[in-house]
Structure 1
Amino acid sequence: MDEEQRGFAEIMIDSGKSLLYILNEILDFSKIEAGKMDLEQGPVDIRDMLNSVMELFSIKAAEKKIELYSEISSQIPERVRGDETRIRQILINLVGNAVKFTEKGSVTVIAEMDHSPEYGPHHLLLSFKIKDTGIGIALDKQHQLFQSFSQLDPAINRKFGGTGLGLAISKKLVELMGGAIGVQSEIGQGAEFQFTIVLEKWREEIVYVEDHLAARLELPDRNSLASGIRILIAEDQAVNSHLLEEMLRKFGGVCDVVGNGAQAVDLLAKTQYDLIFMDIQMPVMDGIEATCEIRKTHPGIPVIAAITAFAGERDREACLQCGMQDFISKPFHSAEIIRVLNTWVPYIHSQKVN
């Protein structure tokens, strides 16, 4: 592309990301209000997660010539158990706001153990502080911060944008995790947001489901990740199926695509496949029913559920009960595809050897 075409393409990408962010916030808020937000429990590396959040905003901070700092207490365990996606979401909301409203100076994130009340032998309390040197918040406006669709000043909103949902969602998520959130600020003196969450201590003696999915294959060339692997994709949405197929082909997979679960069952009776990506909501026969049928004749083939990012724990449990073994979320991201291939390609090769 020439410079003008590249500029238009970047505008399209940024606009798409902005729209997706708004839709995600509205859907999250609706689920929370309806009491349908389920927290998922899995391994969380607080250090890696915080580093990735800071990296996410590093380019924007560099453009504004502000410094990003993070401090993580050595007392925080290497691994805890909680909902990494939602903790990350809270941090992205708060760090994103700090960077947005800071024109000079710095943004600092501090993570440490909170040694206030005891939460039992199997839980711990983590505290996060997000400090900035930005425009600050008037004391008489601070009570509005965590209200849904709240905008403190129309002039500020016109300049900086936003839906007014990020902090409201963050507050609800923090409370779902047994914690609390607050702010200290003055006009022109920056702001400090603090929140605490209760997480489960990681106990090595407990074998969690995700540990069975932890195998990794180290390959020097990602294009060979799925080399020679025959893959069946069951997805009724043309855009989704095309995107997933192109990603898998990029990594060397040989793909066939069908539009519903019944077609997947029929094709599997005629053709040998190594791996199946199965949408959940499809016409004629959905992914749950199709997987139940497949398990009657093909008990060993890995079936990966392709589900919306807003699916709750009950949805995932239904997938596991019918015989699915892993998940990818919509919209698809290459990092998730790489994770799935790294997890299941070694298993597929071992089955062929045996």
Structure 2
Amino acid sequence: LLTLINDILDFSKIEANKVELEIQSFDLRLCIERVLDLVAAQATAKGLTLAYLVDETVPTCIDQDETRLCQILTNLLSNAVKFSDSGEIVVHVQGENLGNNARTPAVESTQPTNNWQLHFRVRDSGIGIPPERMDKLFQPFSQTDSAISRQFGGTGLGLAISKGLVEYMGGTMWAESQRGQGSCFHFTLCAQSSRAQHAPWIESTPMLRGRRILVVEQSTAVQHLLEQQLTTWGMRVTSRNALDWKKLASLPFTYDALIIEVAGAEDEIDLPVAMNSAHRLLTTLQQIVPNFPVVLLVPLGERPAHNRWQRVATVAKPIHASQLHDALVTVLSNQPAPPRRIHKAYLVDKEMAKRKPLRILVAEDNVVNQKVVAGICANHGYRCDIAADGLEVLDALHRQAYDLILMDLNMPEMDGIEATEIIRNSWPATRQPYIIALTANALSDDINRCLDAGMDDYVSKPIQIAKFARA
């Protein structure tokens, strides 16, 4: 019900032209990786492969509304996972440089930047959509088939909201699909390239340049991702879909390292190998080339036992460039990856709680969001209590004082606005906490409601660590 209400509110704001964009500089690839992480658990449970490709010409960092882009991609990827039972889901981004003289809609900046039109594709291998039902795709409260609605659920607003947000951001959205052959959703966005941030993994390490890498991976999309990233780091790549691991000894082993998928099911012959076959692969390799460097690509949540091997590392799917980089440096050098310069936006201050001790209460009804916020607090050294609605917040405050409350606006029984008003009107000044709103709708009207109720600040969802820490 809360999801439906939030979707209706979002759609109403789009219809009323009240959407306000928060333009900021952010790393596009890290943004996509974060969204893939949100759907990774569901995808892994269904045996789906997630991957993304961003063309080398696309800027590393852009100026746009990161929160809204995440919302659009999350809607599309959630649908792709929902309607796919096998295969892969791929996000592909291309870009066209429009030059410095072009005017970029929705993006206001005085910096000397280049204007870009970005083309996003989200391709799945799901049930597909017949041509006669394509006209219903972006209609509000509509799904292409009543049987699909009964089977998969949903509000019927996700695509309508995404299309509206894309148009606010200076782009268009459309889809291509056939029943039984999957779907491909396209959207374009106008953005500006930016040098305001520096991705921590973008710099290659001299140790990687010129190294010969054998990649064994079934998914064509993941192969392309690896080839692109490894080539960017100056590595020489050979890719294969499979390899008879029993015949490894007959290969002319001229490679410096192996990157190989570890599949989730037993496979006696071919690589990618099964989780419980990984030790046999490593044993065979060690007999051919002692201490040969290996990076295992494993499903989310899996960790094959390889402690007895010195130069073996694991990277969980979906693949993050930073994790892949560190894994390669570790196995090739036989030492942990050296620390790299990290932009302050990516830093987690683990000593914050020692410098600024706080008693924190998190007011959030969504269990997943509770874990996310509690995890961010823990990363900064804080422990927090949890309340699922406004009434539980008041009960907690009766039991003890808190320095900070992270207050969701939309909760059952009593929402965050009402709870804040009661706290400000009923608690003595010596026990007044600092209250930060957690809101998915960072619009001026919502912000004013928070401040009018007595809240001190707000943080937009999805929560970004840097903004959270600043608040």
Q: TM-score range by the shorter chain?
A: 0.5 to 0.7
CA contact (8 A) 1:230 1:253 kept: no
Partner SS, residue 186 of structure 2: strand
- Structure 1 residue runs of 4 or more that deviate by more than 6 Å after TM superposition: 237-240, 273-280, 282-288, 317-320
Q: Which amino acid aligns with 1:25?
A: D
Q: What displacement does 1:308 show?
A: 3.5
Contact 2:52 2:92 in 1 (8 A): yes
Answer yes or no: is the 8 Å Cα contact 1:126–1:199 preserved in 2: yes
Aligned-residue offset at 1:328: 2.4
- 1:226 and 1:253 in contact (8 A); partners too: no
Letter in 2 for 1:182: W
SS of match in other structure, 1:47: helix
Task: Tell which structure's C-alpha radius of gyration is larger.
Answer: 2
Selected match of 1:51 from 33, 37, 61: 33
2:146 aligned residue (154, 176, 188): 154
Pairs within 5 Å for 1:112-123: 112-115=94-97, 118-119=102-103, 122-123=114-115
CA distance 1:58–1:309, change in 2 (3 Å)? closer
Question: Deviations for 1:218-260, whole angstroms, at most 9, x for unmatched residues?
Answer: 327xxx6256535799x9x9999xx9xx967981689xxxx9x
**2: distance between equivalents of 1:194 and 1:111?**
10
Structure 1 letter corresponding to 2:46 = K
Q: Which amino acid aligns with 1:34?
A: A
| Equivalent in the alignment of 1:229 | 357
Root-mean-square deviation (Å): 4.7
Q: 1:340 to 1:229 in 2, by over 3 A?
A: farther
Aligned: 1:42 with 2:24: yes
Aligned residue for 2:67?
A: 85
Identity of aligned residues (%): 38
Distance 1:122 1:314 in 2: 32
Question: Would the alpha carbon gap of residues 340 and 165 (structure 1) be closer, same or farther in structure 2, given more than 3 Å must change?
Answer: closer
Partner of 1:181: 173
Partner of 2:189: helix, strand, or coil? strand
Native 8 Å contact 1:129 1:194 kept in 2: yes
- What's the CA shift string for 1:316-354, capped at 9, x where partnerless? 58999xxx9853258xx9x66x6567437xxxxxxxxxx
Pair 226,315 (structure 1): closer, same or farther in 2 beyond 3 Å: farther
Name the counterpart of 2:132: 140
Q: Aligned pair 1:312/2:468, yes or no? A: no
Which residue of 73, 83, 93 maps to 1:101? 83
Q: Which runs of 5+ in 1 are unaligned?
A: 1-18, 206-212, 260-272, 289-293, 295-302, 345-354
The aligned runs of 1:201-220 (5 Å cut-off) are 201-202=193-194, 204=196, 216=347, 218-219=349-350
TM-score (structure 1 length as normaliser): 0.63
Whether the 8 Å contact between 2:345 and 2:466 is mirrored in structure 1 is no
**Alpha-carbon shift at residue 128 of structure 1 (Å):** 0.4
Q: Residues 219 and 225 of structure 1 are in contact (CA less than 8 Å); yes or no, is this contact kept in structure 2? A: yes
- When normalised by structure 2's length, the TM-score is 0.49
* Cα pair 2:43 2:49 within 8 Å, conserved: yes
Measure, in 1, the Cα distance between the counterparts of 2:448 and 2:60.
Answer: 27
Contact 1:98 1:132 survives alignment (8 Å): yes
Provide the C-alpha distance between the structure 1 equivalents of 2:74 and 2:95, rounded to a whole number of angstroms.
20
Determine helix, strand or coil for the equivalent of 1:179: coil
Where does residue 156 of structure 2 map in the other structure? 164
Q: Is the 8 A contact 1:174 1:180 kept in 2?
A: yes
Q: How many residues align?
A: 286
Q: What aligned pairs does 1:180-199 form with structure 2 within 5 A after superposition?
A: 180-199=172-191
